[in-house]
Structure 1
Amino acid sequence: MTIIIISLLLLASLLPHLTFTARVNVGIVNGREAKPHSRPYMVSIQVDGSHICGGFLISEWMVLTAAHCWNRNAILTVVVGAHDLRNSKRSDRIGVKSYIPHPDYIGLPRPIQNDILVLKLMKKVKLNKKVRLIQLPNEGEDVGPDTVCIVAGWGRLSTYGPVSVRLMEANTTTINPEECQRRWGSSFLAPQMICAYGAGGSCSGDSGGPLVCGDTAVGVTSFGDKYLCNSPALPEVYTKISTYIQWIHEKILSDM
């Protein structure tokens, strides 16, 4: 009887620990399902009907995403107003008329730089409750360290896991640029990048989606640890939108 009582007491003492460590990956990585259509600026970027990257609406004609999401032989399609990608209608799918990567973009195998791309759509999107634009920062308007932001996407649920068919999101916190530099070395360029880490974060398939702080998209999901999504040692890196805002506005205005 004494042994049974001791065993029960040990089990009771372990329950809080077991509850905490048994958290299931349900989101981007350790995230949560977004409330349907609560992020109406989000788009799924697809090739042949399959999701490859995220992106976000910055005008009725244009989507902002990561330059590495497009190889020059691919024909991309943008899906707007989606939550569960299985339910997207033909009318939600819009072709891309032109691809405008930053002129100084450098991709792998060299360290990524200027990882930003504007997609000009074949037709104007119809804004409604499910389809909206997101605010961009002003030039030089940088977010400080220790700011809680949100990332969202339809990417993998874990490093080698399946992709999500529903939009997921997670909180993440910006890190001091000096610390980002220490972690990433020469791959991190403070004038054009932000890094962030939290309980959840982005993974493969989430590239191109926004880092949203408050109501403003301050970054574009760019790169992270090659071997571990949401790595505590190598935090996720985002292209800093404020650095490129003049270039972005030029592209938007040129289409008016």
Structure 2
Amino acid sequence: MIIISLLLLGSLLPHLSFTASVKVGIVNGDKLWPSHSRPYMVSVQKKGKHVCSGFLISDQFAMTAAHCKTKGKLTVVAGTDNLIRRKEHVRIRVMSYYKHKPDLMVLELNERVKLNKKIKTIPIPTGQEKIKVGTMCSVAGWGELTHYGPIRLNLQEANVMIMSDEVCQRQWGKKYNASQMMCVYGEGSSCPGDTGSPLVCGNTAVSVSYFSSENNCNDPNQYNVYLKMSAFLPWIRKMTSNSN
């Protein structure tokens, strides 16, 4: 079945060079093993409930999606990959919110988080390096299994493959802006609750989850779109320079 799926995908994307087998998206992802293997991940919460995923870029700043901030204050929970194991949660209030179109947000934390083996930051790009088509990267999040379904209590992770801008443009049309976006393939996709999570290539958070299928986030035929961190570096640097 896996071989047949890859052959079908290959017939649709004749110019794509595969470097490894395709693994499914977060919807069908695997629970993290070993525990705490993504110590940069944070749960963005409102009134103690998970609303989005996010990640630490320093000991005082986290990144997520702008739409995660509605009325009311947010907190981030670090130091855990399980949403109900509260004894290991490190909860930090958000002091300031910096939004950027189309859907990026830098969260300035009320205090500097103490970094340790369970809480770490992840590097972001330093320039405009282009990631090669066919590169295998990874995603993680606590998102829903389906639209309006329950969130996952354990952080899930999966591998995805970088697609070409031409392929992404054909599928998403005017919604896709190659200068700001990139898209990935996996037999599944990011669902509500996963938004704000990073696409990690190597050891770098290269982009932030943006959108997938509008009506079915579990659609294996739709590519997930991410916002390139490199396209917003001047703004990110300006926002994070506000640190005390």
TM-score (norm 1): 0.81
The change in CA–CA distance for 1:200 and 1:225 in structure 2 (over 3 A counts) is closer
8 Å Cα contact 2:139-2:200 kept in structure 1: yes
Equivalent residue, structure 2, for 1:57 = 56
Q: How many residues are matched?
A: 221
Equivalent residue, structure 2, for 1:192 = 180
8 Å Cα contact 1:27-1:33 kept in structure 2: no
Q: Is 1:123 aligned to 2:111, yes or no?
A: yes
Equivalent residue, structure 2, for 1:146 = 134
8 Å Cα contact 1:79-1:88 kept in structure 2: no
SS in 2 for 1:178: helix
- Measure, in 1, the Cα distance between the counterparts of 2:146 and 2:140: 14
8 Å Cα contact 1:197-1:230 kept in structure 2: no
Identity rate, percent = 48
Equivalent residue, structure 2, for 1:92 = 90
Equivalent residue, structure 1, for 2:77 = 79
C-alpha displacement of 1:232: 3.6
- Measure, in 1, the Cα distance between the counterparts of 2:175 and 2:121: 31
SS in 1 for 2:27: coil
- Measure, in 2, the Cα distance between the counterparts of 1:141 and 1:43: 26
SS in 1 for 2:28: coil
- Measure, in 2, the Cα distance between the counterparts of 1:232 and 1:91: 33
Equivalent residue, structure 2, for 1:217 = 205
Cα deviation, 1:155-189, whole Å, max 9, x if unaligned, reads 11234532100100111111101110110010010
Match of 1:169 among 157, 171, 177: 157
- Measure, in 1, the Cα distance between the counterparts of 2:92 and 2:78: 8
Cα deviation, 1:22-41, whole Å, max 9, x if unaligned, reads xxxx9831110012110000
C-alpha displacement of 1:142: 2.4
Quick check: which has more Rg, 1 or 2? 1
SS in 2 for 1:140: coil
Cα deviation, 1:171-212, whole Å, max 9, x if unaligned, reads 111110111011001001010011111134321110000000
- Measure, in 1, the Cα distance between the counterparts of 2:31 and 2:171: 30
- The runs of 4+ residues in structure 1 deviating greater than 3 Å are 158-161
- Measure, in 2, the Cα distance between the counterparts of 1:47 and 1:28: 22
Equivalent residue, structure 2, for 1:133 = 121
- Measure, in 2, the Cα distance between the counterparts of 1:142 and 1:45: 29
- Measure, in 2, the Cα distance between the counterparts of 1:230 and 1:142: 28
Counting helix residues as a fraction of each chain, which structure ranks higher? 1
SS in 1 for 2:132: coil
Kindly report the root-mean-square deviation, in angstroms, between the aligned alpha carbons of the 2 structures: 1.9
The change in CA–CA distance for 1:220 and 1:27 in structure 2 (over 3 A counts) is closer
Report the residue type matching 1:30 in the other structure. N
C-alpha displacement of 1:86: 0.4
Equivalent residue, structure 2, for 1:233 = 221
C-alpha displacement of 1:96: 0.5
Equivalent residue, structure 1, for 2:31 = 33
SS in 1 for 2:207: strand
- Measure, in 1, the Cα distance between the counterparts of 2:59 and 2:157: 24
- Measure, in 2, the Cα distance between the counterparts of 1:232 and 1:146: 17
